[in-house]
Chains A and B, each alone.
Chain A
Amino acid sequence: MTIQNVSRPVLPQSSGNRPSPRARFRRRSAISDLLVVIAWVSGPVAASLYLASGGLADVKNVGSFLTALGIVTGLIGTDFILLMLVLAARVPMIDRAVGHDRAIGLHRQLGKPALYLILGHAVLLLAGYGASSGINPIAEIGPMLTLPDMITAVVGTALLIAVVVTSLVAVRRRFPYEFWHVIHLLSYAAVIFALPHQLSIGGTLAEGTVQRVYWIGLYVLAIGAIVIFRFAVPLFKSWAHDIRVQQVEWIAPDVASIHLTGRDLRALGAAGGEFLIWRFWTAGTWWHSHPISLSAVPTDHRARITVRVLGRGTRRLATVKPGTRVSFAGPYGIFTDAARTSPKLAIVAAGIGITPARALLEGSRLARGEATVLVRSSTDDETFLWSEMRKLAEARGAELFAMVGPRARNSWMSQQDAARGVTLRSVFPDLDRSDLYVCGPQRWAEAVVADARAAGLPEHQIHLESFEL
Chain B
Amino acid sequence: MRRRAAVASVIASAGVLIAGFQIGSAVTAARTPSTTGTGTAPGGSASNSGTSGGTSSGSTGTTGSSGSSGPAKDGTFTGATEQTPFGPMQVAAVISGGKITDVKVLQKTNQGGRSVQISNQADPMLRSEVLQAQSANVSMIGGATYTSEGYLMSLQAALDQAGFTG
Q: Do A and B come from one complex?
A: yes
Contact with A along B11-25 (1 / 0, CB 8 A): 011101101110111
Whether B1 pairs with A201 at a CB distance below 8 angstroms is no
A-B contact pairs, 5 of them (CB 8 A): A37-B9, A48-B19, A132-B39, A201-B43, A206-B59
Q: How far, in whole Å, are A48 and B67 apart by their CA atoms in the complex?
A: 15
The verdict on A68 contacting B45 (CB below 8 Å), with A133-B39, A143-B52 known, is no
Question: With a CB–CB cut-off of 8 A, which chain B residues contact A8?
Answer: none
Stretch from A207-215, A281-289, A316-324 contacting the other chain:
A207-215
Q: Is B90 an interface residue (CB 8 A)?
A: no
Option from A33, A37, A64, A133 in Cβ contact (under 8 Å) with B46: A133
Whether B1 pairs with A63 at a CB distance below 8 angstroms is no
- Secondary structure at chain B's binding surface: helix, strand, loop or mixed? loop
CB of A181 to closest CB in B, whole Å: 31
Whether A200 pairs with B58 at a CB distance below 8 angstroms is yes
CB of B6 to closest CB in A, whole Å: 8
Kindly list the 10 A-B residue pairs having the minimum CB-CB distance in the complex, ordered from nearest: A48-B20, A51-B20, A207-B59, A64-B65, A54-B27, A133-B47, A57-B28, A52-B23, A44-B13, A58-B65
Q: Which of A389-445 contact B (CB under 8 A)?
A: none
Whether A146 pairs with B51 at a CB distance below 8 angstroms is yes
Whether B47 pairs with A56 at a CB distance below 8 angstroms is no
- A interface residues with partner B (beta carbon < 8 Å): 29, 32-33, 36-37, 40-41, 43-45, 47-60, 63-64, 67-68, 71, 125-126, 128-129, 132-133, 135, 140, 142-144, 146-148, 200-204, 206-209, 211, 459-460
The size of the chain B interface, using a CB distance under 8 A, is 51
Q: Which of B1-55 contact A (CB under 8 A)?
A: 1-2, 4-5, 8-9, 12-14, 16-17, 19-21, 23-25, 27-28, 31, 35, 38-39, 43-54
Q: Which A residue sits closest to B3, measured CB to CB?
A: A33
Q: How far, in whole Å, are A129 and B5 apart by their CA atoms in the complex?
A: 39
Whether A204 pairs with B46 at a CB distance below 8 angstroms is no
Whether B65 pairs with A51 at a CB distance below 8 angstroms is no
Whether B16 pairs with A44 at a CB distance below 8 angstroms is yes
Question: With a CB–CB cut-off of 8 A, which chain B residues contact A44?
Answer: 12-14, 16-17
CB of A52 to closest CB in B, whole Å: 4
Question: With a CB–CB cut-off of 8 A, which chain B residues contact A50?
Answer: 20, 66
Q: Is B64 an interface residue (CB 8 A)?
A: yes
The verdict on A129 contacting B13 (CB below 8 Å), with A135-B49, A203-B69 known, is no
Q: Which B residue sits closest to A48, measured CB to CB?
A: B20
Q: How far, in whole Å, are A202 and B61 apart by their CA atoms in the complex?
A: 7
Q: How far, in whole Å, are A146 and B9 apart by their CA atoms in the complex?
A: 40
Option from B1, B50, B67 in Cβ contact (under 8 Å) with A55: B67
Q: Which A residue sits closest to B68, measured CB to CB?
A: A203
Question: With a CB–CB cut-off of 8 A, which chain B residues contact A67?
Answer: 63-66
Whether B50 pairs with A143 at a CB distance below 8 angstroms is yes
Q: How far, in whole Å, are A54 and B69 apart by their CA atoms in the complex?
A: 7
The verdict on A53 contacting B24 (CB below 8 Å), with A58-B38, A132-B64 known, is yes
Q: Which of B49-99 contact A (CB under 8 A)?
A: 49-54, 56, 58-70, 80, 82
Option from A128, A140, A148 in Cβ contact (under 8 Å) with B82: A148
CB of A127 to closest CB in B, whole Å: 11
Whether B16 pairs with A45 at a CB distance below 8 angstroms is yes
Question: With a CB–CB cut-off of 8 A, which chain B residues contact A204?
Answer: 66, 69
Question: With a CB–CB cut-off of 8 A, which chain B residues contact A60?
Answer: 65
Whether A201 pairs with B61 at a CB distance below 8 angstroms is yes
Q: Which B residue sits closest to A458, measured CB to CB?
A: B1
Question: With a CB–CB cut-off of 8 A, which chain A residues contact B8?
Answer: 33, 37
The verdict on A206 contacting B65 (CB below 8 Å), with A32-B1, A44-B13, A133-B46 known, is no
Question: With a CB–CB cut-off of 8 A, which chain B residues contact A71?
Answer: 66
Additional pairs, 16, CB under 8 Å, beyond known A54-B67, A64-B38: A33-B4, A48-B20, A48-B21, A51-B17, A51-B23, A53-B27, A58-B66, A63-B64, A68-B65, A125-B64, A132-B47, A147-B56, A203-B68, A207-B60, A208-B59, A460-B1
